[in-house]
Amino acid sequence: MKDRKERLKELLDEQKQKGREEEEKRDYETVLEEVNELFPKSEEKVEILSKEESKKIIDELYGEFPFCNNGIEWTRMYYKTIFSNFIDYESALAELVIKNHKVNNEICYIIDLNFQHIIKTKLIRIIHRVEEVRNWDRFIYSPQIKLVIEFTSNDIAVGWKI
């Protein structure tokens, strides 16, 4: 009798594991589709990080900037700029980041809190494709220059540390 219970438990555990693996595969495929859509036939390197690497980057982001339930707590950020959706924020954002941070080859992460994988590319590529990247629950994070971009309601919030 005990062997049967143990075997049923093992089968149930195997089924749960298979379900988790399938969910992770679907998650990865969704991110892969997005990468192909955002950066079609890209000559520059765009990488999808593993689940473990992605978790480290998210933990680093949370450690670097003040978060609350809705995202970054912008009232606690000293260096920040908020761009309204109703202005030409793309060129203003590019000018702000390039002028203040002398962006060259800084690594950048597209972090979507709904998925387990993070996209890694160059910050300057994201700046020029910000409209396509823009999405609720998504952050752009560059650890080298300690810069974060969050897409809040109709605005784009940019914060950094010196």
Question: How high is the mean pLDDT of the chain?
Answer: 81
User: Mean pLDDT over residues 43-59, rounded?
Assistant: 86
Statement: residue 1 has pLDDT above 60: no
Most confident of 121-125, 126-130, 144-148: 144-148
Statement: residue 10 has pLDDT above 80: yes
Helices (H), 39-157: 51-64, 89-101, 123-127, 130-133
pLDDT for 102 equals: 62
User: Is the whole-model pTM more than 0.95?
Assistant: no
Q: Which residue has the tokens 């749960």?
A: 16
Count Cβ atoms below 10 Å from residue 160 Cβ, excluding itself. Answer: 20
pLDDT for 57 equals: 92
| Each residue's pLDDT tens digit, 63-85 | 999 998 888 998 898 888 887 76
Q: 44: which 2 tokens?
A: 């520059």
- Single out the residue of 136, 138, 147, 109 nearest to residue 125, CA to CA: 109
Most confident of 2-11, 22-31, 71-80, 82-91: 71-80
